């Protein structure tokens, strides 16, 4: 394979700026997709992704393109996941490329995620060129957006193609730009093998499928390989490229991108960022940048119908086969029964997994409020990692608690800056910077505790900015903080599923809020029900559900038998959806309503 004719590139864009639509157009223009396949966005494989309009799995597609110079090029389009939870995966996919096409919506302009991705691409020393998409829209203003790109990113836009993925405008020019702007890959075919894993997933028939970029050496079918991070060895059973359907090949050389199947059973053994080398002629140093990603956000997942427990466990196991960054372990709750404590990279990752469980596996779930991971030092000098309020030791045993902080960059039009600042202040933010990118676009940078972000920050941000604000964040560090465990008690019994770790200053408000909400959902019973919020033994809020005045069922017992039976049937049905806390029966909806953090 002539390396000079290879171009490895990626498309980077803010969510919804048209990356997938544009990618499909490139496939179409180069004849990679047949007419029948055009209807669907091919790169967004899973149904779920299509519905949510986001790209989760990175993919690599080989396009053949005969350029205006008469030469036949191989263009490897490497798709990247489009959300902040997957920054590490994005950075590994970008490492596999020499260039990146920056797509900016000509009616919107530069957004937080545009910038975050540009920085990632710059970190990998990629050649970047801009494309303005959606010029068919009446509100498109390519001149303004070009000026913005020059001003904010410092990228020359003199050659920037004005395109419409929807109308198919500018697609040929984009292909020419790829050929001319993206450098050909370098590498030594005769050197020891160095191949980067930039994506991997589980396939029921083939086992784990790995996407690789070969930097040095040549990989052949039948080769004995070693994965450098975990030292495990395998034999290459099958390899090839996606075009976009799999095409088997006997070898892949330096500069090339393709898939490898080597009898690997779980994705955790083929981690993104790891280096593959030959067992018998290994490279001395792995490729830099490998990292084991750890879950940052946790929540309890419980089946609504307790008989679904096994189904849920099987489903979680299946998901973990395919997702090395997702974790789970059994957990029991007095109020919710048997379930699992699950760890996710971030909120979106959490939502995706929950949705897949409900949709693909048919398990109805109750999800407890998301929490982050805390570092707790006990008075005995022990260091604990606590990811659930119920595991937080009693206050007298805690020496100090540290919580994770993030650095958030929020992009917002001028008129909403005030609202964004007050939201960040309310969320215990520390202001780092307010920067006017252009006359009307502002970048607000705050240090924020992740614990405040996981509750409702993103939704609040969107609503106060009428959807215009965009958020990007990176993890900073752990900081000591005045955190307490807030318990909700029903007639003196702690409802473990509702316990929260909150900042002391917020505890009063949160406690009152929870108690009031709880009251709405608890039906009157034969006796008075006290709902309290407490920190340790100190009650900070209380509501009471008054007892029923008289026994309404009493009069039925004198009546006819069929009515009585009906009543009993009804009660039985109702029971299923009740959870017992102490002597009080709580309707399932009470938990659903309170725990649904929307
Ligand atoms: P993520 O996968 O979430 O990163 O989004 P994306 O950047 O891949 O965006 P996608 O291609 O899904 O497009 C987002 C929306 O913009 C869709 O509704 C597209 O139909 C629409 N869209 C894409 N390109 C154009 C265009 O050139 N003009 C117009 N008018 N709409 C477009």
Contacts (Cβ under 8 Å, ≥6 apart) of 549: none
ipTM field: 0.97
Q: Is the CB of 53 under 6 A from ligand 1?
A: yes
Task: Give the DSSP per-residue string, 167-198.
Answer: TTBSHHHHHHHHHHHSPPP---TTSPPEEEEE
pLDDT of residue 22: 93
Whether the CA torsion 123, 129, 132, 133 is positive or negative: it is negative
Residues facing 574 on adjacent strands: none
- pLDDT for the residue numbered 247: 87
Q: Ligand 1 in contact with 142 (CB < 6 A)?
A: no
Ligand 1 pocket, residue 133 CB under 6 Å: yes
- CA–centroid distance, 162 to ligand 1, in Å, is 15
Q: For residue 310, how far is the Cα from the chain centroid? A: 26
| Whether 524 contacts 587, CB under 8 Å | no
CA of residue 509 to ligand 1 center, whole Å: 41
In this structure, the chain runs to a length of 598
The three-class DSSP label of residue 316 is: helix
Identify the residue whose C-alpha is closest to ligand 1 atom 18: 16
- Residue 579: CB within 6 Å of ligand 1? no
User: Among 11, 13, 20, 348, which residue has the most ligand 1 atoms within 8 Å of its CB, making it the best to mutate?
Assistant: 20
Q: What is the pTM of this model?
A: 0.79
Distance 484 CA to ligand 1 centre (A): 44
Check if 173 has its Cβ closer than 6 Å to any atom of ligand 1. no
**How many secondary structure helices (H) and strands (E) does the chain include?**
14, 34
Question: β-strands 127-133, 161-162: how paired?
Answer: parallel
Gap from CA of 18 to ligand 1 centroid (Å):
3
pLDDT score recorded for residue 45: 54
Question: Does residue 574 have a cis bond before it (omega within 30 degrees)?
Answer: no
Q: Note the pLDDT of residue 562.
A: 66
List, in order, residues 6 or more apart from 539 with CB less than 8 Å away. Answer: 489, 532, 533
Mutate to test the pocket of ligand 1, among 12, 18, 116, 352 (most ligand atoms within 8 A of CB): 18
CA distance 140 to 142: 6
Q: How far, in Å, from the CA of 133 to the mean position of ligand 1?
A: 9
**Is residue 268 a contact partner of residue 322, using CB atoms and an 8 Å limit?**
no
- Cα of 450 to ligand 1 centre, how many Å? 30
Average pLDDT by consecutive 10-residue portion of the chain (598 residues)? 93 89 91 64 52 51 95 93 77 94 94 84 93 97 94 92 96 98 95 95 85 97 95 95 88 96 91 95 94 88 90 92 87 88 89 88 87 94 92 90 94 93 95 89 94 85 86 90 92 87 90 88 84 91 83 53 61 56 73 59
Domains 3-181 and 485-597 belong to one CATH topology = no
- Expressed in angstroms and rounded, the spacing between residue 21 Cα and the centre of ligand 1 is 6
Cα of 17 vs centre of ligand 1, distance in Å, is 5
CATH no. of 297-368: 3.30.70.870
Q: Is the CB of 140 under 6 A from ligand 1?
A: no
Identify the pLDDT of residue 54.
41
Distance between CA atoms of 113 and 433, rounded to whole angstroms? 17
Q: Domain residues of the chain, as ranges?
A: 3-181, 194-278, 297-368, 375-481, 485-597
Nearest atom in ligand 1 to 17's CA:
7
User: Which fold does the domain 194-278 belong to in CATH?
Assistant: Elongation Factor Tu (Ef-tu); domain 3 (2.40.30)
For domain 485-597, give the fold. Alpha-Beta Plaits (3.30.70)
CB of 418 closer than 6 angstroms to any ligand 1 atom? no
Residue ranges in 124-267 assigned as alpha helix (H): 142-148, 171-181
Taking the CA atoms of the chain, what radius of gyration do you get in angstroms? 28
CATH class of 375-481: alpha beta
Dihedral sign of CA atoms 231, 232, 237, 238 in order: negative
* 3-181 fold: Rossmann fold (3.40.50)
Please state, in angstroms and rounded to a whole number, the distance separating the CA atoms of residues 82 and 472.
11
Q: Of 98, 55, 42, give the one whose Cα is nearest residue 213.
A: 98
- Burial class (CB within 10 angstroms; exposed 0-12, middle 13-18, buried 19+) of 383: exposed
Of the candidates 197, 187, 254, 196, which has an alpha carbon nearest to the alpha carbon of residue 220? 254
């Amino acid at each position: 394979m002539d390396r000079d004719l290879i171009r490895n590139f990626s498309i980077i864009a803010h969510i919804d700026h048209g990356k997938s639509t544009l990618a499909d157009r490139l496939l179409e223009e180069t004849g990679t997709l047949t007419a029948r396949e055009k209807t669907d966005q091919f790169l967004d494989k899973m149904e779920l992704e299509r519905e949510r309009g986001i790209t989760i799995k990175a993919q690599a597609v080989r396009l053949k393109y005969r350029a205006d110079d008469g030469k036949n090029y191989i263009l490897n389009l490497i798709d990247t996941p489009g959300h902040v939870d997957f920054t590490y995966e994005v950075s590994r996919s970008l490492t596999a490329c020499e260039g990146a096409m920056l797509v900016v919506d000509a009616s919107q302009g530069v957004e937080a995620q545009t910038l975050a991705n540009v920085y990632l691409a710059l970190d990998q020393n990629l050649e970047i060129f801009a494309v303005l998409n959606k010029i068919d829209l009446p509100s498109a203003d390519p001149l303004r957006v070009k000026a913005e790109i020059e001003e904010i990113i410092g990228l020359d836009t003199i050659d920037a193609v004005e395109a419409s993925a929807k109308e198919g405008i500018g697609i040929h020019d984009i292909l020419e730009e790829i050929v001319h702007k993206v450098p050909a890959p370098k590498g030594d075919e005769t050197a020891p093998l160095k191949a980067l894993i930039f994506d991997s997933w589980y396939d029921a028939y083939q086992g784990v499928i790995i996407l690789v970029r070969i930097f040095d050496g040549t990989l052949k079918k039948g080769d004995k390989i070693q994965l450098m991070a975990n030292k495990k060895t395998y034999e290459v059973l099958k390899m090839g490229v996606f075009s976009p359907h799999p095409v088997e090949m006997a070898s892949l050389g330096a500069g090339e991108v393709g898939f490898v199947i080597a009898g690997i059973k779980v994705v955790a053994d083929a981690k993104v960022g790891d280096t593959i080398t030959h067992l018998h002629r290994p490279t001395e140093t792995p490729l830099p940048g490998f990292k084991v990603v750890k879950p940052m956000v946790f929540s309890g997942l419980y089946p609504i119908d307790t008989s679904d427990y096994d189904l849920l466990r099987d489903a979680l196991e299946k998901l973990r086969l395919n997702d090395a960054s997702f974790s789970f372990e059994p957990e029991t709750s007095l109020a919710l029964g048997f379930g699992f404590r699950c760890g996710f990279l971030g909120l979106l990752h959490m939502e995706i997994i929950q949705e897949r469980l409900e949709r693909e596996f048919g398990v109805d779930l109750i999800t407890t409020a998301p929490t982050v991971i805390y570092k707790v030092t006990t008075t005995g000098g022990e260091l604990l990692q606590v990811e659930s309020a119920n595991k937080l030791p009693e206050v007298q045993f805690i020496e100090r608690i540290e919580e994770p902080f993030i650095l958030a960059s929020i992009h917002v039009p001028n008129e909403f800056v005030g609202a964004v600042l007050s939201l960040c202040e309310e969320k215990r933010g520390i202001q780092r910077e307010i920067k006017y990118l252009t006359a009307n676009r502002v970048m607000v940078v705050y240090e924020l505790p992740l614990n405040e972000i996981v509750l409702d920050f993103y939704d609040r941000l969107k609503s106060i900015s009428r959807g215009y604000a965009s958020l990007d964040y990176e993890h900073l560090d752990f900081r000591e903080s005045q955190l307490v465990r807030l318990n909700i008690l029903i007639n003196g019994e702690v409802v473990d599923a509702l316990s929260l770790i909150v900042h002391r200053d917020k505890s009063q408000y949160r406690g009152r809020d929870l108690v009031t909400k709880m009251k709405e959902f608890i039906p009157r019973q034969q006796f008075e029900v006290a709902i309290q919020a407490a920190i340790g033994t100190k009650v900070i809020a209380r509501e009471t559900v008054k007892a029923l005045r008289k026994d309404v069922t009493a009069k039925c017992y004198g009546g006819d038998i069929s009515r009585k039976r009906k009543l009993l049937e009804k009660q039985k049905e109702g029971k299923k959806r009740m959870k017992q806390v102490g002597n009080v029966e709580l309707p399932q909806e009470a938990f659903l309503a309170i725990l649904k953090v929307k």
